[in-house]
Amino acid sequence: MNESVLRVGHYRRILFCTDFSDNAKFAFDFAINAAVRNGDCTLTLLHVIPEPDAQFWKGYIYEVGDMDAKAREDIDRTVDTDYRPRVPEGVTFEVEMRIGDAARAILDFAAQDESELIVLGRQGRGAITQWLLGNVTGKVVRRAGCPVLVVPYAFKEKQPSRTAGSPEAMP
C-alpha cells in the first residue's frame, strides 16, 4: 500500500460495540483512551439487540406493547449510568442502537459511519453470551474494513486496581 495513503494512529471515528456486560464496560476504557489520544474524534457506542424470528411472534401473540421503546429506555438508562459519565469533556460521544444480527449490524454501521477503529470485548456474561459474542467478534475481525481492537476480559485481572475516570484508569 502506498505510504501516503496509509493512515496509522489517528482515528476520527471510533466505534465501540457493547452488550452491556462487565467485559464491555472494561473494554470501554480502551475506547475512551483511543478517543482521548486521537483528539477531535467521535466515539460512537453501538448496541445491537438480537432479533430472533420468535421475538416478533412473542410480541404479537402476547401483545407486549412497544418492545422497541422499552428496549430504548433500558439502553438509555444503562448508557447514562455506566458509560456517559466516563466520557471526558472534549470527546464527542454518540449512542446508536440497531436491531438484528449483531455482526452484520456492526459491520454495516461501521461502513456507513466510516468508522476507522472498532473496539469490542471478547467475552460476555454467560456461556451462551460468551459463545455468541465470541462468534460476533470473530466475524467482525474477519470482515471489518478497518482495524479492530479486541479486549479480552482476562486482561482485566492483570491490571492494578484503579478508579474509573481517573487518568491512571486509562489503559
DSSP bridge pairs for 49: 99
SS3 93: strand
| pLDDT at residue 8, as a whole number | 61
Q: What is the mean pLDDT of residues 93-113?
A: 93
Residues 6 or more apart whose Cβ sits within 8 Å of residue 122: 23, 133, 134, 137, 150, 151, 152, 153
| pLDDT at residue 131, as a whole number | 55
Q: Which of 150, 146, 17 is nearest to 83 (CA)?
A: 17
pLDDT digits (tens, 9 = 90+) for 138-150: 889 889 999 999 9
| pLDDT at residue 61, as a whole number | 47
pLDDT digits (tens, 9 = 90+) for 43-83: 999 998 887 644 554 554 444 455 567 777 888 999 999 99
Which three cell numbers mark 9?
494512529
pLDDT digits (tens, 9 = 90+) for 13-27: 999 999 998 889 999
Higher pLDDT, 9 or 76: 76
CB atoms within 10 A of CB 103: 22
CA angle 83, 41, 18 (to 5 degrees): 35
Indicate the DSSP class of residue 96.
E
User: What is the distance between the alpha carbons of residues 168 and 1, in angstroms, rounded to a whole number?
Assistant: 36
Residues 6 or more apart whose Cβ sits within 8 Å of residue 54: none
| pLDDT at residue 124, as a whole number | 45
Please check the confidence at residue 92 and state whether its pLDDT lies above 90. yes
CA angle 86, 103, 107 (to 5 degrees): 80
Q: What is the mean pLDDT of residues 114-139?
A: 73
Q: Where do the domains of the chain lie, and which CATH numbers do they carry?
A: 13-169 (3.40.50.620)
Higher pLDDT, 141 or 126: 141
